Amino acid sequence: MAIEVITFDLDNTLWDVEPTLLKAEQVQREWLLEHRPGAIDAYGHEALWEFKKSVWKRHPELLHNVSQIRIQVLYELQLGAGYGEQDSLAGAREAFDAFLQERHKVVLYEEALEVLEQLAGHYTLGALTNGNADIYKTDAAEYFDFAFLAEEIGASKPHPDMFHAALQRAGVEPEQIIHVGDNPDHDIRGAREVGMYTVWMNSQGEEWPGGKRADQEIDNLQQLPAAIASLDTP
């Protein structure tokens, strides 16, 4: 069957997420320092990391929902500093809003928009992310026909529910979709196990970790149209 749909992971597939996350974390920290003194002041990087892990351990039901688990961390930080429950909850939401606003200021890879425009002329494009970036709040919004976040689906890639959501939305068979992503487990194994074709975006030149490889591998989005064409056979 001919390919009809291309789905994309977002972070580290269409943009380098690390600089954006670092800035968003800084904005969140500055909000807490100004509006909730004492909530985070005493936490260095390692101590804050350990605190986050303790929250994750106590709330495994939230691990697929990166937004809600972040709000929970922010809530518990403020609660632990002596703020009341209502103030802590309100502060958690406001601090998260500050984080999320900055989180969407992603800088797409230089070639991304040109490639997306080219592909959108021939295929339906979708986004599948375990993160909380909304593709419709980025410069790539106009090229995407649908998008699913793990926190909306209730499961994270490589869980099949994420990929099944794309199949249902697009109304196609698995062999009519190519999924593009940077994570060998979440993206490549997850998509392959539901029957989709896969393209590994390996911009860091990493070694394949083992197991069945992706159908194609690229290190730059400019290589994507050719990789798709090699798989798009009637």
Residue-wise pLDDT tens digits, 165-186: 999 999 999 999 999 999 999 9
Tell me: the pLDDT tens digits for 7-47?
999 999 999 999 999 999 999 999 999 999 999 988 888 99
Strand ranges of the sheet holding 124-129, from the earlier edge strand across to the other edge: 146-149, 124-129, 5-8, 177-181, 197-201, 216-218
Two structure tokens written together for 57:
């351990």
The answer to whether 66 and 3 have CB atoms below 8 angstroms apart is no
- Give the pair of three-digit tokens for residue 201: 């975006």
8 Å CB contact between 192 and 198: yes
Domains of the chain: 5-15+108-231 (3.40.50.1000), 18-103 (1.20.120.1600)
pLDDT, position 233 = 79
Mean of pLDDT over the chain:
96
Query: What is the structure's pLDDT at 44?
Result: 87
**Nearest CA to 15 among 163, 216, 228, 201?**
201
Indicate the pTM of the whole model.
Answer: 0.94
CA 62 from centroid of its chain's CA atoms: 15
Tens-digit pLDDT profile for the chain (234 aa)?
899 999 999 999 999 999 999 999 999 999 999 999 999 988 888 999 999 999 999 999 998 999 999 999 999 999 999 999 999 999 999 999 999 999 999 999 999 999 999 999 999 999 999 999 999 999 999 999 999 999 999 999 999 999 999 999 999 999 999 999 999 999 999 999 999 999 999 999 999 999 899 999 999 999 999 999 999 977
